Amino acid sequence: MFSLAHQPLNIGEYSVYLEETTSTNDALKLLFSNQQIPEGAVVYTHFQTNGRGQQNSVWESEPGKNLLFSVLLKPQFLLAMEQVWLNCIISLALRDTAQEFCPDPVKIKWPNDIYCQEKKIAGILIENVLQGNRIRFSVIGMGLNLNQQEFMEPKAASIYTLSGLWVEPKAARELLCHKLGHYYALLLGKQHTLLWDLYHQHLLGKGEMAIFKKENVLFEAQIMGIDKKGRLHLLVNDEIESYANKEVEFINLIKN
């Protein structure tokens, strides 16, 4: 057993609802620039017109069907080189939330997409602002596909399309706030080994063979895990290779 040295941050106690916005990250950054808002503040919306994922990819979402949500954290105890821990706790919180509603195992596809049945059901966009060599604050956007039934992207899905379960967005939002507070408290309490083990426990394909693409060339590799710089470690022809985000693309697992 572990002891929780820090009480969970009451994430979502301060929250702002917007009927429509370009993106919840944009809205939260604007709010933070204009007034003092507490750590744990949340912005959520019915619809965003310019939702973004990693590397400025587009986040597809129908109005009112999904959870679109951003939170403000001030992890000034983290060095810029330690931002992998933010990715770790946010991924775990979003994974746990999705798992509550999904009958099949929910996994984290490196670095922070959330998958079920090898379909993407959630994504994360972390935007850090640095002060010197430390993280001054982070605006973290999350999208969880709840009830949407049609997607242009073939690898995308929702909890509804996978399970037939209609999820009330408020219930998902409240659970996500609770999970975020829990994992942030573990990080504050320096429970690094526990967090690391949990991330790898839920890492999609860990120890399995998969197909990847690098510079338009497909290759097979065994997924070994990640390192403290957030790089993916792959076993390729009996040698470990490490890749930063977007240096290699996961295609699919190899079925036995």
Q: Residue 220 sits in a domain of what CATH number?
A: 2.30.30
Please tell me the distance from the alpha carbon of residue 144 to that of residue 51, in angstroms, as a whole number. Answer: 12
In a shared domain, residues 42 and 101: yes
Give the chain's domain count: 2
In a shared domain, residues 103 and 214: no
152: closest CA among 74, 54, 62, 236? 62
Residue 190 lies in a domain: yes
242: closest CA among 253, 231, 228? 231
In a shared domain, residues 137 and 236: no
Tell me the residue range of the domain where 217 lies: 209-253
Residue 1 lies in a domain: no
Residue 7 lies in a domain: no
29: closest CA among 142, 184, 176, 141? 141
DSSP letter at 206 equals: B
How far does CA 173 lie from the centroid of its chain?
Answer: 14
In a shared domain, residues 144 and 224: no
**Torsion-angle region of 121 (φ positive above 0: left; ψ -120 to 50: alpha; else: beta):** alpha
In a shared domain, residues 213 and 239: yes
Residue 240 lies in a domain: yes
Residue 102 lies in a domain: yes
Q: Quote the pLDDT of residue 68.
A: 96
Q: In this structure, what token pair is assigned to residue 72?
A: 């403000």
The overall pTM is greater than 0.85: yes
49: closest CA among 29, 19, 72? 19
Beta bridge pairs of residue 128: 138
The CATH number linked to 195 is 3.30.930.10
In a shared domain, residues 58 and 20: yes
Q: Quote the pLDDT of residue 212.
A: 98
Residue 66 lies in a domain: yes
In a shared domain, residues 219 and 135: no
In a shared domain, residues 71 and 142: yes
Residue 8 lies in a domain: no
In a shared domain, residues 160 and 246: no
Residues 6+ apart with CB under 8 A from 91: 108, 111, 112, 114, 124, 199
In a shared domain, residues 189 and 226: no
Helix (DSSP H) and strand (DSSP E) numbers for the chain: 5, 12
Q: Quote the pLDDT of residue 256.
A: 75
Q: Quote the pLDDT of residue 1.
A: 39
Please tell me the distance from the alpha carbon of residue 69 to that of residue 173, in angstroms, as a whole number. Answer: 8
In a shared domain, residues 189 and 247: no
Residue 6 lies in a domain: no
In a shared domain, residues 72 and 175: yes
Per-residue pLDDT of the chain (256 residues; tens, 9 = 90+): 344 556 778 999 999 999 999 999 999 999 999 999 999 999 999 998 876 555 455 556 788 899 999 999 999 999 999 999 999 999 999 999 999 999 999 999 999 999 999 999 999 999 999 999 999 999 999 999 999 999 999 999 999 999 999 999 999 999 999 999 999 999 999 999 999 999 999 999 999 999 999 999 999 999 999 999 999 999 999 999 999 999 999 999 998 7
Q: Quote the pLDDT of residue 62.
A: 82
